[in-house]
A and B are shown apart, each in its own frame.
Chain A
């Protein structure tokens, strides 16, 4: 069957050259058009098995709840006021992009907070607020605040942990208040907007999503793009970015960037796009130069490369029809196909000129080339392709699609080569004949000598080989896996920088975990249990805004109490001339505040409440910064404070705070879901399913493996139904490793089966596998030696190297059989030439991947470069050595259905 198949291409090359050219041009044009529409989805999440429940839950939540976790706008400035103003502007402008944006979540609805905020908190906590705010003149206010701190947090590490969010919010507001008081003490008049801002933050809380230092604001954007529609996501980004650039240039002193899954993937694509083109071109040029040197011809390399390029265009067109978009692994498929396809061309070209220079006619030489060498090429290509197809057993889309693309790409490239190359060789041969020229073929005798030398001193080499294998096997223990996906990203990406900056400045990660629940009460229960977990930074769920039924009556009474107190205690501050008592009282309360904060900080430091520690250090001072409160106390003690200005500030502050609180106690009664602002309702509850969303913020950077595992284990102990990015991050790594192993076994089985079918001898089949086994083993050992970690990108190097290794083995065994017993020297000299050229060109092709800025891709390039090199070495050194022990079994068993004439031509060597 194979012979008839190959003879068909021979017939085309000899009899139907014009048809071949016409068909080639037609298919290439159609495929080129299709290929031009192919996209590249660089999101690692796209590699995951879509059937996994956590993936489905992730997709389900992203499709049904307008979360903004995949697209974060980050505003940085040196002034908190400026940051807030920029958040306002960006929110307004971005929400106006109604064709691509659903909504944004950079700011809470202040009207809701004022009207209902107080009644959403627990009666116990509301009672505390009532006590603290009962008299908002400076001294009474600070006294009550200190009482509250001492009562609630003194020596109580549990409470600090439980109320971390509330504590951090109060501390951030206190910091601004202290700065204003300090300014006043120094005679600086504090502006009214700043005082209003402080009153807002101390009463209902800061409504913006600001970092602890308040200089970074984050705006999550819910976009109108399916989580799986990469094309649409890119479109959304293309609409948002110009608006952000315009705002950035119009407001001096701010910097706007984007991060999250979509912007990070965009940055990767932008950093890799030009590289892919440039590196492919570089690889082609280097391969061309090498082939020019080898064939001493400018035309022959073009004959070799042309069909491969055409094959790649055909493959890309095919991908567009099947998988639609490439992913992070299949993005470099062109380079893989060049690496593999060039080998097929080289074997065919080398054999053709070998036959022609031995005096055979064009027809005879082409027949030998297409039918005999073509058979080896076909066998090795099919084995490689099937090994790639075996990767489709993987559950992950990444591995499975890579298997599909590489397998089908090899088959399509092979078809292109068989279809076009013989015709091109025939056309050129005719032209050379007309010109009376002849191409000389060169053998690489040295390769034959090496192979022969190894077999002569085989005991010595066997010993050396065993030592090397043992050393390599020992090195395997040192091989590590890189779980940190950010370590694979290109260096210098702004989205990655912002991701790290958010964790540093918020002391919390934006990589959300989430789950959906049936009711507000279930949401409350889950949130309560999750908040107890040390790994959880915060939980955002609807119960945060909906009080329990039992709270309503108590809260209404407390609201009335506060209203009464505020109406009663409406006097002014009195720090004027002669009021030593109140001045001293203020100083005492500030000192007491500092002591309370220091003691809370000590508890928080030991308990790991880093956000509280950072927030307190900003007020009391720490190892690296001077405390604002410490400075103020020292200044007041110095006796030069401007008490008139302090009094003025205090009056404005008390008045602003009282006014705001009076607005906050105007309403009574329950707070229901329907009273929530629309965007919050939409965020927390899906109207169709009626289910509620609970969002969980991790404390730590989950791109680090240990915190990631710890976080996932911890939230799993609350509910295994919790999904989200952290679980997907763990899954992508674990699934890739699991699939990698599975695919390796499947590929090995397929290869063994095909080799047995092709070579009809277990001994020959296993000998043919020597280059792949040794090449892979040494490659992995060398990775360990060089400190290159395995990762979810370079793990595909293993099947690629298996494909190349088996290719080499098949060619050597086929040729060895043609040369007969004792023919390893000649076989290696002849076919070794093609294998060497294939190895060098492939190393160039794969090595060029090493120049990618994407560190994951670059590592793939290094690994493949090393792997191909070791495959070649083991083909020339180890295969002859191993084969020499069982030569009769290999050579004595001819290949299945050799073409007529070949069986009796072993010693003629086709020369």
Chain B
């Protein structure tokens, strides 16, 4: 008798779970949710970047950045150490158009279009990692399942770049089920089975109504380098003048 009851419960649970899965979000819906969470009009941020170089040396950099339209236009200025103080990186059109400025030479340089794939100033982030744009437009996704990562229930999404998207072969993201903030992203080269780098996003905080991972760690598995971006301050309220993003004003 007890066995029968148990069997009935199990069968019901089975159908109930099927029903729930049917109600699960699609990959596209998840990506759109991510876009909604990441969306902002303008942001001013101060952060520390710690680059672990060969042999474990750590280089501490301090950066102040201004960005609008969810990173469509971004300006980063290095404020520390002295050797690179005043160096500026300007990214326009979601990172398609990149300019740099060195105060020591007072030269403004326009980087070649392929520079998107390059590392930003020796860090393990590339320009396209830093660029803005909507995930749902840059990638087509496929829901691979659900996993708990660092105590957060996540959707696991495999994302293939669209023709307009980044240069990676594919990426796999762990997206928080409840807040749609990415917690981990594995980056793959075309045809590779192992990721060549992994981004960890931690310490998610609500700042001015926006969910922001205050700590981002990029671990490069190819050269064993690590770059940590620690957000010290972020301000979504103060508007930013459009002139700040003009390449010919970088030397001012």
Contact = CB atoms under 8 A, between A and B. Distances in A.
Do A and B interact with each other, yes or no?
yes
Interface of A: 150, 154-158, 160-161, 532-537, 594-595, 598-599, 602-610, 698-701, 704, 706-707, 710-711, 713-714, 717
Given A156-B118, A603-B122, A606-B121, A535 B224 contact: yes
B122 A700 contact: no
Nearest to B224: A714
A155 B90 CA distance: 12
Interface in B143-163: none
Given A602-B121, A607-B122, A154 B111 contact: yes
Contacts of A606: 51, 59, 61, 84, 121-123
A179 to B, nearest CB: 22
Given A158-B118, A598-B105, A710-B56, A605 B84 contact: yes
B115 A706 contact: no
Interface residues of B, number: 32
Contacts of B123: 157, 606-607
Contacts of B84: 602, 605-606
B18 interface: no
B61 A155 contact: no
A609 B54 CA distance: 8
A605 B115 CA distance: 19
B224 A598 contact: no
Contacts of A608: 51, 53-54, 57, 59, 122, 225
Nearest to B87: A602
Given A155-B109, A604-B122, A608-B122, A707 B55 contact: yes
A598 B104 contact: yes
A158 B107 contact: no
B119 interface: yes
Interface in B13-50: none
A599 B107 contact: yes
A417 to B, nearest CB: 54
B53 A534 contact: yes
A804 B121 CA distance: 61
A605 B83 contact: yes
A699 B54 contact: yes
A599 B83 contact: no
B247 interface: no
A156 to B, nearest CB: 5
Nearest to B115: A155
Contacts of A595: 102, 105, 107
B224 A533 contact: yes
Interface string B70-85: 0000000000000110
B222 interface: yes
A708 to B, nearest CB: 9
B98 interface: yes
A714 B56 CA distance: 11
B115 to A, nearest CB: 6
A706 B87 CA distance: 32
Contact of A534 (B54, B112, B115, B121): B54
Contacts of B235: none
B25 to A, nearest CB: 37
B56 A707 contact: yes
Contact of B56 (A156, A158, A706): A706
Given A602-B87, A608-B54, A157 B121 contact: yes
A595 B107 CA distance: 8
13 contacts: A154-B112, A155-B98, A157-B118, A157-B120, A536-B54, A595-B107, A599-B102, A602-B83, A606-B123, A608-B54, A608-B225, A700-B55, A713-B224
A899 B224 CA distance: 71
A161 B121 contact: no
B223 interface: yes
A534 B109 contact: no
Contacts of A609: 122
Contacts of B111: 154-155
B100 interface: yes
B221 interface: yes
Top-8 shortest CB links A-B: A608-B53, A607-B122, A700-B55, A606-B122, A595-B105, A707-B55, A534-B54, A157-B122
Contacts of A599: 102, 105, 107, 109
A504 to B, nearest CB: 14
Contacts of B54: 534-537, 608, 610, 699-700
A158 B123 CA distance: 10
A214 B54 CA distance: 23
A603 B121 contact: yes
A700 B111 CA distance: 32
A534 B118 contact: no
A158 B124 CA distance: 10
Contacts of B104: 598, 602
A535 B118 contact: no
Given A608-B57, A713-B224, A158 B119 contact: yes
Contacts of B122: 157, 160-161, 603-609
B87 A710 contact: no
B116 to A, nearest CB: 11
Nearest to B49: A606
Given A605-B84, A606-B123, A608-B51, A161 B221 contact: no
Interface string B164-187: 000000000000000000000000
B84, B98, B122 interface centre (most CB from chain A within 10 Å): B122
B61 to A, nearest CB: 7
Contact of B53 (A594, A607, A698, A714): A607
Nearest to B57: A608
Given A598-B102, A602-B87, A717-B221, A535 B55 contact: yes
B98 A161 contact: no
Contact of A717 (B98, B118, B224): B224
B224 A607 contact: no
Nearest to B127: A155
A154 B122 CA distance: 12
B52 to A, nearest CB: 8
B100 A155 contact: yes
Nearest to A509: B55
A589 B187 CA distance: 41
A470 B28 CA distance: 62
Contacts of B102: 595, 598-599, 602
A711 B223 contact: no
Nearest to A613: B83
Contact of B51 (A155, A607, A699): A607
B51 A534 contact: no
A535, A606, A610, A711 interface centre (most CB from chain B within 10 Å): A606
Contacts of A534: 53-54, 223-225
Contacts of B51: 606-608
Contacts of B223: 161, 532-534
Contacts of B83: 602, 605
Contacts of B121: 157, 602-603, 606-607
Given A534-B223, A606-B59, 16 more contacts: A155-B98, A155-B115, A157-B120, A158-B118, A533-B222, A535-B55, A594-B105, A595-B105, A595-B107, A598-B105, A599-B105, A602-B121, A607-B51, A607-B122, A698-B55, A713-B224
B165 to A, nearest CB: 20
Nearest to A529: B222
A602 B83 CA distance: 7
Nearest to A155: B111
Given A595-B105, A608-B57, A710-B55, A532 B222 contact: yes
Given A606-B61, A608-B57, A710-B55, A155 B224 contact: no
A711 B57 CA distance: 13
A160, A536, A599 interface centre (most CB from chain B within 10 Å): A599
B126 to A, nearest CB: 9
A780 B176 CA distance: 49
A120 B115 CA distance: 28
Contacts of B224: 533-535, 710, 713-714, 717
Nearest to B221: A717
